[in-house]
Amino acid sequence: MLRAVLIDVGGTLWPDAWHQQSDDDHERVRRLREATPGLSQAEASRLVEILGDTGHPVADRQQTSDLVSDAIARVKPATPVRLEAVRAAMSVPARGRVQLFPGAKDLLAALDERGLRVVIASNVLWRDAAHYRQDFRDLGLAQHVTAYVTSVDVGWRKPSPAFFAVALAAAGHPPSQCAMVGDSERNDIAPARVLEMLTVRVAIEGPLPATTVATRLCSSLGQVAKVLFAEADRYRPP
């Protein structure tokens, strides 16, 4: 019986990459200087410039703190800068910057209506659970989400078993009663199959893959909904 669904975000509920807006870096600089009053405009701008070109390396351990520390060491600001302040400043709100894929709201609402626990399970660079919670609140989705599990908070990234252990604990049910929905074979599907979870791979931003180990392959969130609802309703009394 399906009781909980782990759902990836980037490439699954909304695009994997956002289009940079002209004022995004100005917003990051403003937020950083507000959190660190002694930081000069030039120092804050340089930090944001360096980190704006940064991507997370392929690794099981989360390395955001190391990346921020390296950037601070390069800038050598005159005042101490907290790593947390930099990370939070870089995590600009999703509102007004991202558009949900068609069917995202309906999917989460219907899962919630069926009594399924919904756990956001996401590899991130800057965003933590608190930022995601605000994003989902702004997008009118927070009431349908049970928990937010991010690699920043866990310290490990998908496909690490350590990440999935935390996500499944948040789901509150054994893997056999959980599904994983995501767009990455490596990060979402393969590790969930090892755990014998129901796996649904989505391919919204690109063509359907030639091969997958996923239980089902879907090109839209509407198709994902049909798969999950059929599984959730399978053991319901008539």
238 — pLDDT class (breaks 50, 70, 90)? low
Same domain, residue pair 64 and 129: no
Same domain, residue pair 29 and 13: no
Same domain, residue pair 140 and 218: yes
Q: 238 in a domain, yes or no?
A: no
Give 70-79 pLDDT, tens digit per residue: 999 999 999 9
Residue 17 pLDDT = 85
Residue 237 pLDDT = 54
Asked whether the beta carbons of 23 and 136 are under 8 A apart, the reply is no
Same domain, residue pair 108 and 224: yes
Which domain-ending residue is among 73, 90, 107? 90
Which domain-ending residue is among 63, 90, 117? 90
Same domain, residue pair 114 and 194: yes
Same domain, residue pair 81 and 106: no
Domain range enclosing 174: 4-17+98-233
DSSP per position, 20-66 = PPTTHHHHHHHHHHHH-TT--HHHHHHHHHHHHT----S-SB--HHH
Same domain, residue pair 122 and 8: yes
Same domain, residue pair 12 and 56: no
The total number of structural domains in the chain stands at 2
Asked whether the beta carbons of 154 and 163 are under 8 A apart, the reply is yes
235 — pLDDT class (breaks 50, 70, 90)? low
Q: pTM of the prediction?
A: 0.95
Same domain, residue pair 59 and 12: no
CATH code, domain with 121: 3.40.50.1000
Give 195-221 pLDDT, tens digit per residue: 999 999 999 999 999 999 999 999 999
Q: What's the mean per-residue pLDDT of the chain?
A: 95
Give 19-47 pLDDT, tens digit per residue: 778 899 999 999 999 999 999 999 999 99
Decide if pLDDT at 99 tops 70: yes
